[in-house]
Amino acid sequence: MSSSIPALMFVALLLLLASGLPVTYALGLVAIGFSFFLWGPGAVGTIITATWGTMNSFTLIAVPLFVFMALVLQKAAVVEDLYDAVYKWSGPVRGGLGLATIMVGAILGAVSGVVAAGVIGLGLIGLPQMLKYGYNRKLGIGAVMAGGTLGQLIPPSVTMVVYGAVTRVSVGSLFAGGLTCGLFLAFLYALYILIRSYLNKNICPVLPVESRASTKEKISSLRKIFLPGLLIIAVLGSVFSGAATPTEAAGVGAFGAIVFSAVMKRLNWNMIKEACLGTLEINAMVAWIIIGAAAFSSVFSGIGGNAMVLNIATSMPGGPWMVFGASVLFVFFLGMFLEPSAMIMLAAPIVSPVLQKLGFDPLWWGLIFMVLLQVSYLSPPFGFALFYMRGVAPKGVTIEEIYMSSLPYIGMQLIGLLFIIIFPGIALWLPRLLN
Amino acid sequence: MQTFIHFIRKLSNQIGIISALLLLPLIAVVLYSVIMRYIFNSPPNWSFEVSLFLFGMNITMGGIYCQLKKKHIEVDILKRMVGPAGQTFIRIFSLCAAVFVCSVIFWYGLPWAIESVRILERSMHQTAFDPPIWWFKCFVPLSSGLMGLQALVDLIDEISVLFKKGAQSS
């Protein structure tokens, strides 16, 4: 009987989430309810410990700084310039606009690491272009969602900072591994678009000659993205080389973004204030989810949930790889319902120590977790990229069509995941090189 | 009652703007410590804790603004499946949960913060700076209290709209 209580906590959480409760309150409510009924009123104070712990997490300070950097660069119209540059270069290729969308998504990922910004930006700028030139709608919508989601995997990434804060895996190593994993996924998406467009030439027509860019335009389009590119390379480089902590690099990046917007003559007080408020909305939202999830986790482990999982895992027939497979399925399943930082807070403390104990490389598993988060953004019914997409989709696009568009890209993600599992080098090559 | 609702919303908005702008000193502190560490090789001993203070105030007080602007993320799939009456019901249920959770944090956080103020608690990070932190702990009951108040105001608003509709249709 008592062994079913941890499972009951998850069921209660999923029910509350499905009923439309904000994620942080659903987590808090379950934590408060279970601690009260299991241990009495004195135990409810765990939620205070959770709040205080989050307020004192030095690693998490990188989150608002990275988000601020992204918002300032975005307000300085980097997305438009970027899309403009890439799309001018990819005009003559069949499926070129689709490839441009994926590439811009990947580059944007290096600028921001906020998935909402990636999907919404590409949806507003890239999708209308693709539809204008007669692209298949599902292919285009899927490309926007898959490309926009890459920001979570390509550093700097908010979710990696959260994962590092929870599991003590080095954020710098996660960043380095995320870069190669992200580029690998981008390559798979591009491959998919290319194959589709060569099998059926009506799906992604080539741009008509008159709307292709001249060489001069191509060169001048590159000039505009030179400075932000330099900033990103400096920020990531200092984290990769171990010269700076993610928080330090993010602080310098945030300042660099302000300088950049001043150079572009787009700096003004109103823009800074808007960026601060936009950062606050994301940062406080994520932080309160972390608070709720930390309370949930400590109650879960307090009632023996973690010990129970470890017990089941070690007695499972089939050995470590069976446990590994079950963990992947567990995270995948949670991803269909939960917000990414809540997923990390809930699943990582339960699953990651078990896998480490069984001899799996914690960094490698961390990166597999990150790729599973990619899937969670796209997987129906609750993938967040799907909702962002719905917000910016042109009229007449139904949620069902968006669901259908995501399926082939989820397939590519799963293929990518399989490759990373079979060839760990894809994930671990760069972090090892840097160490 | 309307003036009270209006006052709380205005307060939440102002708190949001102030806590959002804390980001600028946070950037300055991180930048300063980076410059001092890497160029002058003498990192300040206060930057670690000051940046935690700024970050902590930013997230806790930011929760109030998120409540005001409905930015605490939720899964709205059920909301889109039911009719307007069902949507109102879900909103009221969510707000009740918000008021409850915030009240619990306030209720447990208040004596915890008062105790810290009483002993004028100092930092437990063991840095040479060793700042007082009792005031920082007060942000737990303060922010949860105001966040709950904002949710309560939204709840009152929601219910009064419901009553008005009821009065019109009967």
**What residues in B contact A25, CB-CB < 8 Å?**
72, 94, 97-98, 101
The answer on pLDDT for A119 being more than 50 is yes
> Residue B147: what pLDDT?
95
> How many CA atoms does the CB half-sphere of A56 hold within 13 Å?
13
Q: Between chains, do A276 and B23 touch, taking CB under 8 Å as contact?
A: yes
Rounded CA separation A240/A230 (Å): 15
**Residue A281 near residue A13 (C-beta atoms within 8 A):** no
Per-residue confidence (pLDDT) for residue A1, from 0 to 100 = 40
Q: What is the pLDDT of residue A371?
A: 95
Q: How far is A56 from chain B (nearest CA, A)?
A: 6
Instruction: Please name every residue paired with B132 in a beta bridge, in sequence order, or none if there are none.
Output: B122
Pairs across A and B, CB distance < 8 A: 181
Q: Is it the case that residue A424 has pLDDT exceeding 70? A: yes
DSSP annotation string for A392-414: HSPTT--HHHHHHHHHHHHHHHH
Looking at residue B129, what is its pLDDT?
80
CA distance A61 to A239: 15
- Report percent pLDDT > 90 for chain A: 31
Question: What are φ and ψ of residue B122, in 5° steps?
Answer: -115, 175
- Measured distance between the N- and C-terminal CA atoms of chain A, rounded to whole angstroms: 48
Does the beta-carbon distance from B51 to A287 stay under 8 Å? no
CA distance A296 to chain B (A): 13
SS3 B81: helix
Which among A32, A252, A281 has CB closest to B104? Answer: A32
Question: What's the complex ipTM?
Answer: 0.93
B86 at A interface, C-beta within 8 A: no
Phi, psi at A206, each rounded to 5°: -70, 150
Residue numbers of B between 149 and 168 with CB closer than 8 Å to A = none
State the smallest CA–CA distance between residue B137 and chain A in angstroms: 8
**Cβ contact (<8 Å) for A28 and B52?**
no
Mean of the per-residue pLDDT values of chain A: 86
| pLDDT higher at A358 or A313 | A358
Q: Do A20 and B94 touch (CB under 8 A)?
A: yes
Question: B-chain residues within 8 Å CB-CB of A276?
Answer: 20-21, 23-24
Among A45-59, A219-233, B9-23, the range scoring the smallest mean pLDDT is A219-233
Q: Which of A18, A280, A285 has the CB atom closest to B20's CB atom?
A: A280
B93 touches chain A (CB under 8 A): yes
The confidence score (pLDDT) of residue A2 equals 56
Q: What pLDDT digit, counting tens, does each position of B97-129 carry? A: 999 999 999 999 999 999 888 888 887 777 778
- Contact with chain A for residue B4, Cβ under 8 A: no
Which chain B residues touch A158 with a CB distance below 8 Å? none
How far apart are the C-alpha atoms of A51 and A287, rounded to whole Å?
Answer: 9
Q: Residues near B170 by Cβ (< 8 Å), separated by ≥ 6?
A: none
* pLDDT category of residue A141 using cuts at 50, 70 and 90: very high
Q: What is the mean pLDDT of residues B158-168?
A: 82
Position B47 pLDDT exceeds 70:
yes
- Asked whether the CA dihedral A220, A221, A224, A225 is positive or negative, the reply is negative
Q: Which two tokens stand for residue A407?
A: 């399926």
What pLDDT was estimated at residue A211?
Answer: 67
pLDDT at residue A417, rounded to an integer: 96
Query: B147: which residues sit within 8 A by CB, 6+ positions away?
Result: B63, B64, B67, B98, B102
Q: For A374-408, how does the pLDDT look when each residue is reduced to its tens digit (9 = 90+)?
A: 999 998 877 888 888 888 888 778 888 999 999 99
